[in-house]
Amino acid sequence: MLELRGVTAGYGRTRVLADVTVEVPRGGAVAIMGHNGAGKTTLLRVAVGLLPVMSGQVLLDGADVTRLRPNRRVARGLGYVPQGQLSFPQMTTLENLQLVSTDRAAIDGVLDTFPALRGLLARRAGLLSGGQRQQLAIARTLLTGPRMLILDEPTEGIQPNVVAEIESVVTALTARGDLSVLLVEQHVGFALRSTGSYYVLESGRITSSGAGGPDALDAVRAAMAV
Ligand SMILES: Nc1ncnc2c1ncn2[C@@H]1O[C@H](COP(=O)(O)OP(=O)(O)OP(=O)(O)O)[C@@H](O)[C@H]1O
């Protein structure tokens, strides 16, 4: 479970987030939506500990982690997949995974969620498609065994015909029940289908929130049209 309580944060003296409160329940999945520049990545960076709060608190499984460094949060079960499908391009898919764990059983377990990667283990990551590289980035983070997974725009820069593949991976993860997920995603339909609740962030403030599902589509579109 992850909670941001009344978080105000930004860069230098510039405030980007103002009094933001977000809760991801244990085993639940939450989507954050909003226009470019609304502060979504900033919110995730605060959750992970890459950016300090100006005020407010971050709680992980009920414990106050506001002052903990990112590596200490990871040790407590936080996993973060930043934007950009990051991988080491000269290394193979398998070698990229082995940077986190050389336990073949653990790698096999994670690959169950990424059947597309199984046949690509010997291929250099630099030769993978954007969608495949995104799956590799998520798989690598899953190898750290997180209970709380943070995904920043997994479909960013992905060809439209592969977005459904990423959606099915994310949906499989959010359906697991033993993993909490915080998802930033521009594709509103995908975000609502794969999560249980949503928040809309506009100019650093939460302007709308509610239960997810297809019924929320109109509410979110209206909130984002303002
Ligand atoms: N390192 C930084 N230094 C100064 N300002 C920054 C920095 N990173 C982001 N910002 C500013 O903070 C605001 C919010 O940026 P952020 O990346 O959190 O938005 P976002 O909602 O994730 O946008 P996008 O959908 O484009 O990724 C923007 O005005 C941005 O210019």
pLDDT score for 217: 87
Q: Is the C-beta atom of 11 inside 6 A of ligand 1?
A: yes
Q: Apex CA 43: angle with CA 12 and CA 162, to 5°?
A: 125
CA distances from 94 to 131, 137, 145, 166 (A): 16, 12, 17, 20
pLDDT score for 85: 81
CA of 206 to the centre of ligand 1 (A): 16
pLDDT score for 33: 95
Token reading at 107: 């790698």
Question: Could you give phi then psi for residue 68, rounded to 5 degrees?
Answer: -80, 140
CA of 138 to the centre of ligand 1 (A): 22
| Mean pLDDT for back-to-back runs of 10 residues, the chain (226 residues) | 97 96 96 95 97 97 96 96 91 96 94 93 95 95 96 91 89 90 93 93 95 83 80
Q: Is the C-beta atom of 13 inside 6 A of ligand 1?
A: no
Q: Is the C-beta atom of 90 inside 6 A of ligand 1?
A: no
pLDDT score for 226: 62
Helices and strands (DSSP H and E) totals, the chain: 9, 10
Sketch out the chain's domains with CATH numbers.
2-87+133-225 (3.40.50.300)
With both helix axes pointing from N to C terminus, report the angle between 160-174 and 130-142 in degrees, rounded to the nearest 10: 20
CA distance 219 to 221: 6
Strand order in 205-211's β-sheet? Answer: 78-81, 148-152, 180-184, 29-33, 197-202, 205-211
